[in-house]
Structure 1
Amino acid sequence: MSVHIDIAGLRPERVAVVPSPLAELGMALHAMSEPGHHPGLQAWATGVTARLDPHLADRMSEADFLWRTTFSDLFMPFAGVPGRTTLPGGTIAEDLDLLDKLSDEQFVEAALEFTCALSYGAPGPMLLGDPELRRRALELAAARGPRQVRFSQRLLTDPPRIRAWFRQFVEDCDESFYAETWARMGHQLAADARHKTELLRRRGMAEALAAVSPAAMVDAGGTRITVDKLGDGRTSTGDGGLLLVPTSMGWPHLSVLHRYGWQPVLHYPVGSPELASPPSVEQLALRMTALSHPVRMRICRHLARSAYTTSELARAHGMTAPEISRHLGVLKKAGLLTTRRRGRYVLHQLDVTVVARLGSDFLEGILR
């Protein structure tokens, strides 16, 4: 499973690495609503929440479906501006001005895309002009509680009102807590953007993407970017551009905006405690499957304590050597074993370091 970006014919000058204050605010709101995803930000989130104006906190709860479980493209409006070459603004105000350039249809669909299961990577019927789609959107919103139903109803019947509400909400967040936060982290993001831009210029797309994340890579022909994620999607730069947007508060989330008709965006984390060379989603699945079998779990109990030969394990578990070999093969293919030869004997041992990482690797894999 992965997201693919077709970059055939993409001109180098159409690739940009630029921070976005509004995109980072989206990640800040997410960290406040889901602190378990971001243990390194829990102190910050607790401090901000404790000082928050009750009215602003209430408005946060009203629209938290925009950032709690997924990240609404409303926080990256530059990608939806016609022409697909617009860069993020340098300030919250500039990003909000770009948001004003989106049509009502773009705004509404970006707000309801995930919670109301709208079409994302392919063209579909226009929500505001399709009564059946509107009915279905409200029906799905009902499953998420009365707050979202009310918000969705207002959004569908009076988009300009909600657009004004959202702009005021962002401005109030900026005044209340975010301006101070952005003043501290904006320099780090700008420095990372300069570094990645230099890599693009001197070393090319492949090395720049490798520096962005081990989960992002370009094919040998330089025509397609593949991002290893627990999901599928496709998009193309076409005659537009490609944006790489760094986030300081976003680890472990590596997001790809691949909305139909919008400029592709790779929203990647920087300055995080990310483990070196995290496994692919496929490798993670192999490891979880390998460890889920009760016999292999018992074998791992032995191998975690010491190195054993196949014959020793067969005797210990009352199984034949070929049966043990098959289980060891599964564990080895998943990268969970180390082997060494001692004379004519081959000793197997569990790689405890890899197994210990599975907890954080699993979390990173499903949140990527």
Structure 2
Amino acid sequence: MSVRIDIGGLRPERVFVVPSPLAELGMALHTLAEPGHHPGLQGWATGVTAGLDPHLADRMCEADFLWRTTFSDLFLPCAGVPGGASLPGTTLAEDLDLLDKLTDEQFVDAALEFTCAPAYGSEGPHALSDPEVRRRAVDLAASRGPQQTRFTERLLVDPPGVRAWLRQFLEDCDEAFFAETWSRLRHPLAAEARHKTDLLRHKGLSEALASVSSALSLDETARVVTVDKLTEGSTTVTADGGLLLVPTSLGRPHLLVLHRYRWQPVLQYPVSSTELTAPLSVEQLTLRMAALSHPVRMRICRHLARSAYTTGELAQAHGMTAPEISRHLGVLKKAGLITTRRRGRYVLHQLDVGVVARLGSDFLEGILR
């Protein structure tokens, strides 16, 4: 599973690495709504939440589905501005001005992404003009509760009013907590952007993407960027468009891909990782979960967690033949869950306890990526 970006028509000078204050504000709101996704930021989230004005906290709940369950493309409006390739603003006010440039159809479709109502990867009917899409959007919102229903109905009836409400809300968040946070983050993010831009200039796109995340790869022959995620999607860079890389200090473990039809593709990636290991590929994560789903292999792991064993010893302990044990060991080894070493004429197998201990966080990072 992956998201593929066709860059066949992309000119090298149309790849940009640019921080976005609005995208970072969106990630800040997500962190406040889902602090469990970001254990390293729980101190920051607790401090901000404790200092919030109750009225602002209530307003924060009115449309939290824009940043809680999905990360709305409204936080990267530069990608959708009609008429060509735009870059994020250098200030929040400039980013909000870009948000104002989206058409009502673009704004409504992006805001309703949480309902999966409008088409995302292809041209489709708009909620503002198609009665069936409107009905489906309201029905799906109703399944998520009265709050989403009220927001959806209001959005469909009065897009300008909701747009004004959202802009004012984001400006109030800036005044309440984000301006101070952004003042600390913007310089490291700018330095990250300069570093990646230098890599692009001197080493090329493949090297730059590899430095962003091991989940990104470039097929230089096919001119396709592949993002290893537990979702399917595709998009194509338009002739007058570009590819944007937007670093975030608040985003780990999320690697977000904006691939909305006729919008510029955007990769929003986390920086300042404190992890000692690269994130697992979806394939490797699937192998490990499947390997441990078999009861015999779970019992084998119980032995191998305590000591190193030969195949013959495991066969005797489990009442199985050596070839049967070898097949199970092969699955565990292919998944990277056991290590082997030779002692004379014997081969000893042992569980990699560190790998297994990380499996929970690897799984969580994989599904949140």
Q: Give the aligned partner of residue 193 of structure 1.
A: 193
Work out whether residues 254 and 268 of structure 1, in 8 Å CA contact, stay in contact via their aligned partners in 2. yes
1:17-50 Cα deviation digits (max 9, x unpaired): 0000000000000000000000111111111111
What is the 5 A alignment of 1:322-341? Answer: 322-341=323-342
* Residue number in structure 1 paired with 2:23: 23
Given that residues 116 and 141 in structure 1 are in contact (C-alpha distance below 8 angstroms), is that contact kept between their aligned partners in structure 2? no
Paired residue type of 1:290: A
Distance 2:202 2:83 in 1: 27
TM-score (norm. length: structure 1): 0.98
Give the corresponding residue for 1:313. Answer: 314
Per-residue CA deviation, residues 243-268 of structure 1 (Å, 9 max, x unaligned), is 00000000000000000010000000
Alignment of 1:348-367 (within 5 A): 348-367=349-368
Q: Does residue 79 of structure 1 match 2:99?
A: no
Alignment of 1:66-145 (within 5 A): 66-145=66-145
Residue 344 (structure 1) shift: 2.0
Aligned partner of 2:254 in structure 1 is 253
Distance 1:74 1:215 in 2: 24
Equivalent pairs counted in the alignment come to 368
C-alpha displacement of 1:306? 1.4
Deviation sequence 1:186-212 (CA, Å, 0-9, x none): 111111000000000000011100110
Q: 1:228 & 1:84 partners in 2: Cα distance?
A: 28
Deviation at 1:123, TM superposition (A): 1.1
Look up the equivalent residue of 1:3 and give its one-letter code.
V
Unaligned segments of structure 1, at least 5 residues: none
1:276 shift after superposition = 2.3
- Cα distance, 1:343 vs structure 2: 2.2
What is the match of residue 218 of structure 1? 218
Aligned partner of residue 120 in structure 1, secondary structure: coil
Distance in 2 (CA, whole Å) between partners of 1:277 and 1:168 is 39
The structural deviation recorded for 1:220 is 3.5
In the superposition, the TM-score normalised over structure 2's length comes to 0.98
Q: What secondary structure is seen at the aligned counterpart in 2 of 1:273?
A: coil
Mapped to 2, the partners of 1:43 and 1:361 lie a distance apart of: 22
Superposition CA RMSD, Å? 1.0
Amino acid at match of 2:332: L
Q: What residue is the counterpart of 1:280 in the other structure?
A: 281
Q: Is the 8 A contact 1:84 1:241 kept in 2?
A: no
Are the aligned partners of 2:242 and 2:264 in contact in 1 as well (CA < 8 Å)? yes
CA–CA distance in structure 1, aligned partners of residues 286 and 226 of structure 2 = 18
Q: Residue 116 of structure 1: CA displacement?
A: 4.0
One-letter code aligned to 1:174: D
Describe the SS at the equivalent of 2:347.
Answer: strand
Task: Tell me, yes or no, if the aligned pair for 2:253 and 2:365 is still in contact at 8 Å.
Answer: yes
Aligned partners of 1:262 and 1:52: how far apart in 2? 34
2: distance between equivalents of 1:117 and 1:189?
A: 34
Equivalent position of 2:206 in the other structure: 206
Q: Describe how 1:128-167 pairs up with structure 2 within 5 A.
A: 128-167=128-167
| Residue 279 (structure 2) pairs with residue 270 (structure 1) | no
Q: Which residue matches 2:297?
A: 296
Give 1:83 shift: 3.7
Sort the Cα spacing of 1:116 and 1:234 in 2 relative to 1 into closer, same or farther, 3 A.
closer
Report the Cα offset of residue 117 of structure 1: 3.4
Measure, in 2, the Cα distance between the counterparts of 1:238 and 1:33. 35
Q: Which runs of 4+ in 1 moved over 3 A?
A: none
Deviates more, 1:348-357 or 1:18-27: 348-357
For residues 309-334 of structure 1, give each alpha carbon's deviation from its aligned partner in whole angstroms, at most 9, with x where no partner exists: 11100001111111111111110111
Amino-acid identity (%): 77
1:187 alignment partner AA:
H
Equivalent pair of 2:118/2:125 in contact (CA under 8 Å): no
Distance 2:92 2:279 in 1: 33
Contact 1:314–1:324 (8 Å) recurs in 2? yes
Q: Answer whether contact 2:69 2:114 (CA < 8 A) is retained.
A: no
Return the alpha-carbon distance in structure 2 between the equivalents of residues 127 and 250 of structure 1: 30
> Which residue in 2 is equivalent to 1:235?
235
- Structure 2: gaps of 5 or more residues: none
Q: Residue in 1 aligned with 2:13?
A: 13
Amino acid paired to 2:131: P
**1:133 and 1:85 mapped to 2: Cα distance?**
29
Deviations 1:56-92 (A, max 9, x none): 1111100000000110000000000124410000011
Q: Is the 8 A contact 1:65 1:115 kept in 2?
A: no
Displacement of 1:222 after TM fit? 6.2
